[in-house]
């Protein structure tokens, strides 16, 4: 359902160690000018119907309502002069807003 780049795996491991969480949960929220945005939260237990992805010792919990939208997505962590952030390369996206905050499928 989801793959992570080595940079994303490293960053998630760091975050989980600092916050003593078992994994990160990815869900979607209706927000922004184009409809949907990713939400990341700490998670210690899968909810009923959540998909659990494990890669290189990292657990990602995917909210059941977000699963069909996230299938095939690559999660990356990028750093530039202005920001450090997770980036989702999602082949299902049909449009994004100008600021990059939201997307549509």
28 with 65: CB under 8 angstroms? yes
Higher model confidence: residue 35 or residue 1? 1
Q: Report residue 44's pLDDT band, with 50, 70 and 90 as the boundaries.
A: very high
What mean pLDDT value characterizes the chain?
85
Higher model confidence: residue 87 or residue 59? 59
pTM of the model: 0.84
The reported pLDDT for the residue numbered 94 is 63
The reported pLDDT for the residue numbered 104 is 52
Tens of pLDDT, residue by residue over 60-92, are 999 998 888 888 999 999 998 988 988 888 776
Characterize 48-80 residue by residue with b for buried, 16 or more Cβ atoms within 10 angstroms of its Cβ, and e for exposed: eebbebebeebbbbbbeebbebbeebebbbeee
For residue 19, CA distances in Å to 49, 55, 59, 99 come to 25, 19, 14, 29
């Amino acid at each position: 359902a989801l793959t992570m780049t080595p940079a994303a795996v490293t960053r998630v491991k760091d975050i989980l160690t600092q916050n003593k969480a078992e994994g990160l949960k990815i869900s979607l929220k209706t927000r922004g000018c184009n409809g949907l945005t990713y939400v990341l939260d700490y998670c210690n237990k899968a909810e009923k119907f959540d998909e659990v992805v494990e890669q290189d010792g990292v657990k990602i919990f995917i909210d059941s309502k977000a699963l069909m939208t996230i299938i095939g997505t690559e999660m990356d962590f990028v750093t530039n002069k202005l920001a450090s952030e997770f980036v989702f390369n999602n082949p299902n996206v049909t449009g994004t807003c100008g600021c990059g905050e939201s997307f549509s499928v």
